[in-house]
Amino acid sequence: MMILIKLGGSVITDKTRYRTFNSEVVGRLCHEIKESGKDVVIVHGAGSFGHVLAKEHDINSGFKNREQVPAVAQICYDVRELSSMVVSELISAGIPSVSVPTGSCFVMDNRELIFDNGEPVRRFRDLGIVPVLFGDVVTDRSLGFAICSGDQIMEKLAELFDPEMVVFVSDIDGLYDKNPKTERDAMLYDEVDSGILKEVSTKHDVDDVTGGVRAKMEAMLRMCSDNRDCVLVNGNAEGRLLDLLRGEKVVCTTAKGGIL
């Protein structure tokens, strides 16, 4: 069975600094995935390779003026370069991988990803090559263009492949009742359902044009089932992803019960 993994932009980049790649962390995470021996499909966020310019030029509002066009082209270039860096680390770790640009394979309609042909992704897997998709600017039938988040891609891939586990790798231990980066008394939730999520504060230190932690947890709840765990785990904690993939108990947050 396959495990679907998202490497969050907050882990693979410094989201506060434009085009800053955390190569050491990504390399370690790739080796942990390899050491686990698990069959995986990987999605990664855009981080500072996408969010900085996307926010500056209001890309997620869709086409407003011609001044946005150079920014769209630059973002697409940047996130493809980021994906090449991630794939390079995967290959170095012994995981044959290929980048599959979301914006080159799929379209959106009013920010809804149209993932009606998964054949390119499936065929890479059949060959034993790990497909790597990523947050991207995608042409939109209604808006001209829009941002497709890595979390949206994860939901579509979960439908396509029915993985045994879904893992979101972030820069925090899991979901807290408050922002753990600013509140010392923040409490970590071991498990989260839709009722708990409604009560959680959603303040963030860094602007995120794709919705932040709350949107991530909502996506996780939609993806979980009686037979599938969706887990948020800290990729900055060395060995934690490996232990999770091996089935060991780790510090994390698990989504339960779906969206009510």
Residue 108 lies in a domain: yes
Residue 260 lies in a domain: no
In this model, does residue 202 exceed pLDDT 60?
no
Residue 176 lies in a domain: yes
Which CATH number fits the domain that encloses residue 9? 3.40.1160.10
Mean pLDDT value of segment 141-150: 96
Number of domains in the chain: 1
Mean pLDDT value of segment 220-248: 93
What confidence tens digit (pLDDT) does each residue in 170-198 have? Answer: 998 988 877 777 888 888 899 988 888 77
Encoding tokens for residue 130? 């790990």
Residue owning tokens 């997620």: 60
Higher pLDDT, 114 or 172: 114
What confidence tens digit (pLDDT) does each residue in 57-93 have? Answer: 999 999 999 999 999 999 999 999 999 999 999 999 9
Residue 43 lies in a domain: yes
Sign of CA dihedral 19, 22, 26, 29: negative
Residue 123 lies in a domain: yes
Taking a C-beta distance cutoff of 8 angstroms, is the pair 2, 41 a contact?
yes
What confidence tens digit (pLDDT) does each residue in 162-176 have? Answer: 999 999 999 989 888
Mean pLDDT value of segment 29-52: 96
pLDDT band at 260 (very low <50, low <70, confident <90, very high): low
Residue 144 lies in a domain: yes
pLDDT of residue 186: 84
pTM for this model (two decimals): 0.91
Range of the domain at 35: 2-255
Share of residues in the chain with pLDDT > 70 (%): 94
Q: Name beta bridge partners: 99.
A: 132
